Amino acid sequence: MAKYDSKLDLLFSALSDPTRREILTRLSFGAASITELAEQHDMALPSFLKHLNKLEQAGLIHSEKNGRIRTCALAPEAFTPMQNWLSEQRTIWEQRLNQFDRYALELKRKRENETGSKN
């Protein structure tokens, strides 16, 4: 059984909301002020800030205050644990599907042999 990783829970939870995924997509093009990011979303600023806080707590973004302007930027290294976990899961499922494929082919050959020996 796979070990539990609370950091992965934070990361996937942060990605579970479409608004937060849109923010990450926007930040993939470069840093932006909170005002710039909020303008693209039809919600009150306090609600929008909750989304940014969730992303920052997960480590997916970081923010920096310069004077009166707070700028957010993507933290691409934060995606590594998710990529690793997904890669592990993909390997596991590919192995399982390959085993199933071999089993199905074996059953097919047995049936063909049984059918061929009856004729």
pLDDT in tens, 100-111: 988 898 898 888
- For the stretch 38-50, pLDDT in tens is 999 999 999 999 9
| CB-based burial label for 70 (10 Å; 0-12, 13-18, 19+) | middle
Do 58 and 103 belong together in one domain? no
Q: Which helix (H) or strand (E) holds 70?
A: strand 69-74
Torsional class of 72: left (φ above 0), alpha (ψ -120 to 50), beta (otherwise): beta
Q: Are residues 18 and 63 in the same domain?
A: yes
pTM of the full structure? 0.73
Q: What pLDDT shows up at residue 27?
A: 98
Domain range for 102 is 79-118
Tell me the C-alpha to C-alpha distance, in Å, between residue 31 and each of 51, 78, 115. 16, 16, 67
Do 70 and 26 fall within a single domain? Answer: yes
Cβ proximity of 33 and 69 under 8 Å: yes
Judge if 58 and 113 occupy the same domain: no
